Amino acid sequence: MARTWFITGCSSGFGKAITKAALGVGDNVIATSRDASKLADLAQSGVYTVSLDVNSSQKDIDAVVADAVNKYGSIDILVNNAGYILEGGIEEVSDEEARDHFNTNVFGQLAVTRAVLPYMRAKKSGVIANMGSIAGWRGGINCGMYCSTKFALIGITEALKKEVEPLGITVVAIEPGYFRTDFLSGGHKVSPKNSIPDLEPVIKPFKDMFSMYDHQQPGDPTKGAQLIVEALTGTGRCAGKKLPARLAIGSDAIAMITEVLEDKKKELDEWKDLAVTTDIAA
Protein backbone atom coordinates (compact mmCIF):
# COMPACT_ATOMS: atom_id res chain seq x y z
CA MET A 1 0.00 0.00 0.00
CA ALA A 2 1.37 3.40 -0.97
CA ARG A 3 2.49 5.70 1.82
CA THR A 4 1.84 9.45 1.73
CA TRP A 5 4.66 11.95 2.23
CA PHE A 6 4.38 15.65 3.06
CA ILE A 7 7.63 17.44 2.25
CA THR A 8 8.42 21.16 2.62
CA GLY A 9 10.98 23.14 0.65
CA CYS A 10 10.86 21.07 -2.53
CA SER A 11 11.91 23.55 -5.21
CA SER A 12 15.50 22.30 -5.11
CA GLY A 13 18.09 20.37 -3.13
CA PHE A 14 17.14 17.63 -0.73
CA GLY A 15 13.45 18.49 -0.84
CA LYS A 16 13.27 17.80 -4.54
CA ALA A 17 15.59 14.78 -4.34
CA ILE A 18 13.58 13.14 -1.53
CA THR A 19 10.35 13.81 -3.43
CA LYS A 20 11.70 12.01 -6.49
CA ALA A 21 13.04 9.10 -4.42
CA ALA A 22 9.71 8.64 -2.59
CA LEU A 23 7.81 8.83 -5.87
CA GLY A 24 10.22 6.26 -7.28
CA VAL A 25 9.10 3.63 -4.76
CA GLY A 26 5.45 4.19 -5.64
CA ASP A 27 4.45 6.43 -2.76
CA ASN A 28 2.21 9.50 -2.86
CA VAL A 29 3.98 12.81 -2.31
CA ILE A 30 2.66 16.24 -1.38
CA ALA A 31 5.51 18.60 -2.26
CA THR A 32 5.43 22.18 -1.06
CA SER A 33 7.24 25.41 -1.84
CA ARG A 34 6.46 29.05 -1.22
CA ASP A 35 5.58 29.20 -4.92
CA ALA A 36 4.13 25.97 -6.28
CA SER A 37 4.84 27.11 -9.85
CA LYS A 38 8.50 26.27 -9.13
CA LEU A 39 7.43 22.64 -8.75
CA ALA A 40 6.00 22.26 -12.26
CA ASP A 41 8.42 19.46 -13.17
CA LEU A 42 7.41 17.50 -10.08
CA ALA A 43 3.72 18.05 -10.80
CA GLN A 44 4.22 16.58 -14.29
CA SER A 45 5.70 13.49 -12.63
CA GLY A 46 2.55 12.91 -10.59
CA VAL A 47 3.45 14.80 -7.41
CA TYR A 48 0.70 16.80 -5.71
CA THR A 49 2.23 20.27 -5.45
CA VAL A 50 1.07 22.98 -3.05
CA SER A 51 2.14 26.53 -2.23
CA LEU A 52 3.14 26.76 1.41
CA ASP A 53 5.13 29.40 3.23
CA VAL A 54 6.16 27.86 6.57
CA ASN A 55 6.09 31.40 8.01
CA SER A 56 2.34 31.65 7.36
CA SER A 57 -0.16 31.66 10.21
CA GLN A 58 -0.90 28.38 11.97
CA LYS A 59 -4.44 28.60 10.56
CA ASP A 60 -3.16 28.77 6.97
CA ILE A 61 -0.69 25.92 7.52
CA ASP A 62 -3.43 23.81 9.13
CA ALA A 63 -5.59 24.39 6.06
CA VAL A 64 -2.87 23.22 3.66
CA VAL A 65 -2.27 20.09 5.72
CA ALA A 66 -6.02 19.38 5.94
CA ASP A 67 -6.25 19.64 2.15
CA ALA A 68 -3.39 17.16 1.82
CA VAL A 69 -5.11 14.71 4.15
CA ASN A 70 -8.35 15.07 2.18
CA LYS A 71 -6.40 14.30 -0.99
CA TYR A 72 -4.83 11.02 0.15
CA GLY A 73 -6.54 10.15 3.43
CA SER A 74 -3.48 10.49 5.66
CA ILE A 75 0.05 11.76 6.02
CA ASP A 76 2.38 8.93 6.89
CA ILE A 77 5.74 10.70 6.66
CA LEU A 78 6.46 14.39 7.26
CA VAL A 79 9.80 15.80 6.12
CA ASN A 80 10.45 19.29 7.49
CA ASN A 81 13.02 20.42 4.95
CA ALA A 82 12.38 24.14 4.33
CA GLY A 83 15.21 26.37 5.48
CA TYR A 84 18.13 28.57 4.50
CA ILE A 85 21.56 29.59 5.75
CA LEU A 86 22.27 33.03 7.17
CA GLU A 87 26.01 33.58 7.02
CA GLY A 88 28.02 36.28 8.73
CA GLY A 89 29.42 37.03 12.17
CA ILE A 90 27.14 36.84 15.19
CA GLU A 91 27.49 40.55 15.94
CA GLU A 92 26.81 41.44 12.31
CA VAL A 93 23.37 39.82 12.32
CA SER A 94 20.52 42.15 13.26
CA ASP A 95 17.69 41.15 15.56
CA GLU A 96 15.28 41.14 12.63
CA GLU A 97 17.57 38.92 10.52
CA ALA A 98 18.07 36.50 13.41
CA ARG A 99 14.34 36.27 14.08
CA ASP A 100 13.56 35.74 10.39
CA HIS A 101 16.12 32.93 10.34
CA PHE A 102 14.62 31.19 13.36
CA ASN A 103 11.09 31.75 12.01
CA THR A 104 11.86 29.70 8.92
CA ASN A 105 14.36 27.15 10.22
CA VAL A 106 12.78 26.45 13.60
CA PHE A 107 9.32 27.96 14.16
CA GLY A 108 8.19 27.10 10.63
CA GLN A 109 9.04 23.45 11.23
CA LEU A 110 7.21 23.56 14.55
CA ALA A 111 4.11 24.99 12.90
CA VAL A 112 4.01 22.29 10.21
CA THR A 113 4.62 19.60 12.83
CA ARG A 114 1.75 20.92 14.95
CA ALA A 115 -0.52 20.76 11.91
CA VAL A 116 0.40 17.16 11.04
CA LEU A 117 0.62 15.54 14.48
CA PRO A 118 -3.14 15.37 15.23
CA TYR A 119 -3.64 13.17 12.16
CA MET A 120 -0.74 10.91 13.12
CA ARG A 121 -1.99 10.66 16.70
CA ALA A 122 -5.44 9.70 15.44
CA LYS A 123 -4.09 6.70 13.54
CA LYS A 124 -1.31 5.93 16.06
CA SER A 125 1.43 5.89 13.45
CA GLY A 126 3.68 8.15 11.43
CA VAL A 127 7.22 9.38 10.93
CA ILE A 128 8.45 12.96 11.35
CA ALA A 129 11.87 13.79 9.93
CA ASN A 130 13.38 17.17 10.71
CA MET A 131 16.19 18.13 8.37
CA GLY A 132 19.08 19.10 10.59
CA SER A 133 22.72 19.37 9.63
CA ILE A 134 26.21 18.61 10.87
CA ALA A 135 26.04 22.31 11.78
CA GLY A 136 23.93 21.16 14.72
CA TRP A 137 27.03 19.59 16.29
CA ARG A 138 29.46 22.51 16.34
CA GLY A 139 29.11 26.27 16.04
CA GLY A 140 31.19 27.59 13.18
CA ILE A 141 32.65 30.93 12.14
CA ASN A 142 30.44 32.70 9.57
CA CYS A 143 27.52 30.35 10.17
CA GLY A 144 26.85 30.69 13.88
CA MET A 145 23.22 31.70 13.43
CA TYR A 146 22.54 28.78 11.10
CA CYS A 147 24.25 26.42 13.54
CA SER A 148 22.09 27.77 16.36
CA THR A 149 18.89 26.99 14.46
CA LYS A 150 20.06 23.42 13.96
CA PHE A 151 21.04 23.09 17.63
CA ALA A 152 17.53 24.26 18.55
CA LEU A 153 16.01 21.75 16.18
CA ILE A 154 17.87 18.89 17.84
CA GLY A 155 16.48 19.77 21.25
CA ILE A 156 12.97 19.84 19.82
CA THR A 157 13.46 16.59 17.91
CA GLU A 158 14.86 14.62 20.84
CA ALA A 159 12.10 15.79 23.19
CA LEU A 160 9.30 15.21 20.68
CA LYS A 161 10.62 11.74 19.90
CA LYS A 162 10.20 10.71 23.55
CA GLU A 163 6.79 12.35 23.85
CA VAL A 164 5.12 10.68 20.87
CA GLU A 165 6.94 7.35 20.70
CA PRO A 166 4.31 5.73 23.00
CA LEU A 167 1.70 6.85 20.44
CA GLY A 168 3.35 4.92 17.60
CA ILE A 169 5.01 7.98 16.04
CA THR A 170 8.71 8.08 15.22
CA VAL A 171 10.73 11.32 15.16
CA VAL A 172 14.23 11.69 13.75
CA ALA A 173 16.64 14.45 12.78
CA ILE A 174 18.43 13.87 9.48
CA GLU A 175 21.91 15.42 9.67
CA PRO A 176 23.59 15.61 6.27
CA GLY A 177 27.16 16.64 5.68
CA TYR A 178 27.93 18.74 2.62
CA PHE A 179 25.92 17.56 -0.38
CA ARG A 180 26.17 18.95 -3.89
CA THR A 181 22.98 21.00 -3.93
CA ASP A 182 22.31 24.74 -4.39
CA PHE A 183 22.20 25.30 -0.63
CA LEU A 184 25.39 27.40 -0.58
CA SER A 185 24.21 29.65 -3.39
CA GLY A 186 21.24 31.66 -4.64
CA GLY A 187 18.39 32.43 -2.29
CA HIS A 188 19.34 29.59 0.05
CA LYS A 189 22.26 31.61 1.46
CA VAL A 190 21.85 35.19 2.60
CA SER A 191 24.21 37.66 4.27
CA PRO A 192 23.46 40.27 6.94
CA LYS A 193 23.14 43.88 5.84
CA ASN A 194 25.72 44.95 8.40
CA SER A 195 29.43 44.28 8.01
CA ILE A 196 32.00 44.90 10.76
CA PRO A 197 35.54 45.61 9.50
CA ASP A 198 37.12 44.33 12.75
CA LEU A 199 35.67 40.89 12.07
CA GLU A 200 36.64 40.68 8.40
CA PRO A 201 40.02 38.94 8.92
CA VAL A 202 38.23 36.13 10.75
CA ILE A 203 35.00 36.01 8.73
CA LYS A 204 36.22 36.46 5.16
CA PRO A 205 38.27 33.22 4.84
CA PHE A 206 35.22 31.20 5.81
CA LYS A 207 32.93 33.23 3.56
CA ASP A 208 35.34 32.56 0.68
CA MET A 209 35.45 28.89 1.59
CA PHE A 210 31.66 28.65 1.32
CA SER A 211 31.83 30.21 -2.14
CA MET A 212 34.62 27.90 -3.31
CA TYR A 213 32.89 24.83 -1.85
CA ASP A 214 29.63 25.62 -3.67
CA HIS A 215 28.91 22.70 -6.06
CA GLN A 216 32.13 21.02 -4.98
CA GLN A 217 30.59 19.22 -2.01
CA PRO A 218 31.35 15.49 -1.72
CA GLY A 219 27.80 14.24 -1.10
CA ASP A 220 25.51 13.01 -3.87
CA PRO A 221 21.96 14.27 -3.10
CA THR A 222 20.35 11.47 -5.12
CA LYS A 223 22.15 8.83 -3.08
CA GLY A 224 21.41 10.75 0.11
CA ALA A 225 17.72 10.98 -0.71
CA GLN A 226 17.56 7.26 -1.48
CA LEU A 227 19.05 6.43 1.91
CA ILE A 228 16.63 8.82 3.63
CA VAL A 229 13.64 7.16 1.94
CA GLU A 230 14.86 3.70 2.94
CA ALA A 231 15.53 4.86 6.51
CA LEU A 232 12.14 6.54 6.99
CA THR A 233 10.24 3.61 5.51
CA GLY A 234 12.36 0.85 7.08
CA THR A 235 12.95 -0.76 3.71
CA GLY A 236 15.91 -1.85 1.60
CA ARG A 237 19.22 -1.50 3.42
CA CYS A 238 17.40 -0.13 6.49
CA ALA A 239 14.98 -3.02 6.95
CA GLY A 240 14.93 -4.10 10.59
CA LYS A 241 16.88 -1.07 11.80
CA LYS A 242 15.48 1.25 14.48
CA LEU A 243 15.82 4.92 13.60
CA PRO A 244 18.13 6.86 15.92
CA ALA A 245 17.22 10.30 17.21
CA ARG A 246 19.97 11.74 14.99
CA LEU A 247 20.77 10.12 11.64
CA ALA A 248 23.99 11.40 10.08
CA ILE A 249 24.50 10.93 6.35
CA GLY A 250 27.70 11.49 4.41
CA SER A 251 31.28 10.43 5.11
CA ASP A 252 32.18 14.00 6.07
CA ALA A 253 29.34 14.02 8.61
CA ILE A 254 30.64 10.86 10.25
CA ALA A 255 34.20 12.24 10.39
CA MET A 256 33.18 15.62 11.78
CA ILE A 257 30.75 14.27 14.40
CA THR A 258 33.35 11.75 15.57
CA GLU A 259 35.85 14.59 15.99
CA VAL A 260 33.34 16.69 17.93
CA LEU A 261 32.50 13.83 20.30
CA GLU A 262 36.18 13.15 20.96
CA ASP A 263 36.89 16.85 21.58
CA LYS A 264 33.93 17.22 23.95
CA LYS A 265 34.93 14.09 25.88
CA LYS A 266 38.47 15.46 26.26
CA GLU A 267 37.18 18.83 27.51
CA LEU A 268 34.80 17.12 29.95
CA ASP A 269 37.57 14.93 31.37
CA GLU A 270 39.93 17.91 31.77
CA TRP A 271 37.41 19.83 33.91
CA LYS A 272 35.67 16.92 35.65
CA ASP A 273 37.68 17.05 38.88
CA LEU A 274 36.75 20.70 39.40
CA ALA A 275 33.18 20.35 38.20
CA VAL A 276 32.29 17.74 40.83
CA THR A 277 33.48 19.96 43.68
CA THR A 278 30.39 22.16 43.43
CA ASP A 279 27.89 19.69 44.95
CA ILE A 280 26.38 20.36 48.36
CA ALA A 281 28.32 18.45 51.00
CA ALA A 282 26.56 15.34 52.26
Beta bridge partners of 85: 189
Helices then strands (H, E): number in the chain?
Answer: 9, 9
- Nearest 5°: phi and psi at 277? -80, -5
Strand order in the sheet with 28-33: 48-51, 28-33, 4-7, 77-80, 126-131, 169-176, 246-249
Q: Are 17 and 222 in contact (CB under 8 A)?
A: yes
Q: Which of 31, 43, 26, 66 is nearest to 229 (CA)?
A: 26
Active site (annotated) includes residue 84 = no
Written as one string, the DSSP assignment of 166-218 is GGTEEEEEEEE--BSSSTTSGGGEE--S---GGGHHHHHHHHHHHHHHTT--S
For residues 16 and 44, what is the distance between their CA atoms, to the nearest angstrom? Answer: 13
Identified catalytic residue from 84, 146, 178, 213? 146
Tell me which residues are annotated as active site.
146
